[in-house]
Chains A and B, each alone.
Chain A
């Protein structure tokens, strides 16, 4: 009896869909709150003026034309991986293998450049690299998908372990290709001939990469939103039983979707090797295979929203680098600020999706909001 009377101090219920103005207001509030907390921490920890620190961060991201291009390049890589993750995650297939799928793409691209660089014309070589990296990336994601579809193996562990296989393969080939021997460094591949390098559009070295990723992003948006495949992905993600009931071949959808997911990761690997870095290292993906998952989630698997999220993350990371250069702070300080801002943004999604009722609040039925 007393049980019924004792209402908890607060309880949480799921909200119905919120008007977009309101949800964006909450997001805005969370960013402001994060900036205030960061300001307090900055002043307390370093004694610097937080406004000038923020100014420097923006400066680091947008300060010069070159910085904007670099930001675009970084954003393109992260966005490409996030876009690749989107269909798999929308299907509730937890693909944590982005890192490996990207790396295996970089590996095959580098192999083509090294072994075929002086044997076939560069245009043909680039074409071959694109096809090879997409195919190999697709295979890398397709293997766990096949096992998931046939024997319902755990895709989280499987894709995760495929990362390590890819890293070790790259490490193995680095020892074969390294120069000088024993240094563990491949260096820039075909630096004198530029064979297999993506051309610069005009004087804009990174423009082609950015355009390709923009195209992929738009295609993915259309694919998920308007195509039959996209619809099937959503249905399988909501309920595999429903999907089977309406006659969707679930195993086929799983494998097909992961081939797309891995293929785009492979393409991303190609873009890194042919478009920007022109080398291969085990850290070329640099954790972005995982960061891409975060981007995809934050954007709720909407490829267009991913543009904003990946841009935000790259602005923060470029800004963090800049404040470490300008103020001589350790890079970790910038990372702390980034962490706080991310924490608030992720937290805001909670307030968008759930409602908190304070004790006694329930009596005011139909209160504001």
Chain B
């Protein structure tokens, strides 16, 4: 027994010694590498709320990898960073690791990114989906988004065609063309998303209506699945979502209800019900911002990607579930959007409480605790979304959409 103990003890010492040695040895080349990289190229850091299991974060991670590999620069990705002090710590650690530009992907990261931007003025901080860059006035803090409302409008067109097909086939009556939508929260980013989706659907199927339910979380697989199932039970014949798990798409596949997805294709998990998905491709922004930082040029305070920059994409249409001619129709409407022939938030196409939106309507573009409306956003017959700042600010409750549980 004693001999055994001595043996194990000496083994333990050897192992711990080896571990310490390798840890010291391991650290050396890494530091040299980053120092060497500093001279030639910038290093990029990415902060993600969740990891690859979230469709939202996966979309960011893929873009980060492809942008950095294309530019041939080093990068580090930190996943599962909560929206608290951990975000500041992660940003600071990325600065220590030698990153010259740092991106964060979640709305709640914003204040911590601003804090980091103040503390590290030589490093560029870029925050996707945030709203405060234009009012903070920091040279090294930037917001970015994309005109995803255009993508959602196109996805809505696909949904409208599917509804029409169901009506023509006699599966449903025209007044039963009710869409269900699982949203995360009740602020502009989500409202702008489901409203543009609905307007796209109604542009094809006039009798379409929509019910929206909210989960109060960006990633809650159970709540998203339950939300979708509840909508299906309430008679919704097509589902879309703006939340980041596979909850809603898989609920649709199980129930055999067509689904218009978000953040990327879910066709692998839902081969029979997936129609199409819109998503933001962040790679163009990453390439733009990293290149600008590398050349010492200023990065836009608010950068809004669109169809022309390749930031707003639609996945391939799944013929198994989509109505005939969907791809052609999407291409046609896309061309109209790009040429400016049609606008998603055309004020002649929707009403609020039975009335058309007035030209004097003010939106809450500058974030403040009292939600003060501060900017005129309606002109030339349409609501100018994502022009006065990159993040959406369309937060009107238009007729035809019923919000079921706003208080989660």
Show the binding face of A for B, using Cβ within 8 Å.
25, 28-29, 31-32, 35-36, 51-52, 54-56, 58-59, 63-64, 66-67, 70, 73, 171, 175, 179-185, 187-188, 191, 276-279, 281, 283-284, 286, 321, 324-326, 328, 330-331, 367-369
With A180-B187, A281-B84, A283-B82 known as contacts, the answer to whether A171 contacts B216 (CB < 8 A) is yes
* A174: nearest chain-B partner, CB-CB: B216
Chain B hits for A64, CB < 8 A? 93, 96
Q: Is the CB of B22 within 8 A of A179?
A: no
Query: Which of the candidate stretches B12-20, B149-157, B268-276 sits at the interface with the other chain?
Result: B12-20
Does more than half of chain B's interface fall in helix, strand or loop, or is it mixed?
A: helix
Tell me the complex Cα distance, A183–B53, Å: 22
Q: Is the CB of B93 within 8 A of A58?
A: no
Chain A hits for B20, CB < 8 A? 58
Does more than half of chain A's interface fall in helix, strand or loop, or is it mixed?
A: helix
* B217: nearest chain-A partner, CB-CB: A184
* B53: nearest chain-A partner, CB-CB: A330
* A188: nearest chain-B partner, CB-CB: B111
Q: Is the CB of B186 within 8 A of A182?
A: yes
B51 at the interface (CB under 8 A from A): yes
Q: Is the CB of B185 within 8 A of A183?
A: yes
A-B contact pairs, 20 of them (CB 8 A): A29-B12, A36-B15, A51-B19, A52-B22, A54-B23, A55-B22, A55-B23, A171-B216, A179-B369, A182-B191, A183-B187, A185-B108, A188-B112, A188-B115, A277-B85, A279-B84, A325-B77, A325-B78, A330-B53, A330-B79
Nearest chain A CB to B49's CB is how many angstroms away? 11
B 49-60 binary contact with A (CB < 8 Å = 1; else 0): 001110000000
Chain B hits for A51, CB < 8 A? 18-19, 22
Q: Is the CB of B216 within 8 A of A184?
A: yes
- A55 CB contact (under 8 Å) in B25, B85, B395: B25
Query: Which of the candidate stretches B3-11, B230-238, B305-313, B339-347 sits at the interface with the other chain?
Result: B3-11
* A32: nearest chain-B partner, CB-CB: B12
Nearest chain A CB to B289's CB is how many angstroms away? 21
Interface residues of B in 174-207 (CB under 8 A from A): 184-191
Tell me the complex Cα distance, A270–B110, Å: 22
Q: Is the CB of A52 within 8 A of B26?
A: yes
B316 at the interface (CB under 8 A from A): no
Q: Is the CB of A54 within 8 A of B186?
A: no
Q: Is the CB of B15 within 8 A of A32?
A: yes
Q: Is the CB of B26 within 8 A of A66?
A: no
B367 at the interface (CB under 8 A from A): yes
Q: Is the CB of B79 within 8 A of A331?
A: yes
Chain A hits for B85, CB < 8 A? 73, 276-278
Tell me the complex Cα distance, A129–B79, Å: 33
Q: Is the CB of B407 within 8 A of A32?
A: no
B83 at the interface (CB under 8 A from A): yes
B107 at the interface (CB under 8 A from A): yes
Q: Is the CB of A187 within 8 A of B108?
A: yes
B364 at the interface (CB under 8 A from A): yes
Q: Is the CB of A179 within 8 A of B368?
A: yes
With A179-B367, A179-B368, A331-B79 known as contacts, the answer to whether A28 contacts B1 (CB < 8 A) is no
Tell me the complex Cα distance, A330–B110, Å: 24
Q: Is the CB of B8 within 8 A of A181?
A: no
With A179-B368, A183-B187 known as contacts, the answer to whether A54 contacts B93 (CB < 8 A) is no
* B12: nearest chain-A partner, CB-CB: A32
Chain A hits for B12, CB < 8 A? 28-29, 31-32
Q: Is the CB of A182 within 8 A of B96?
A: no
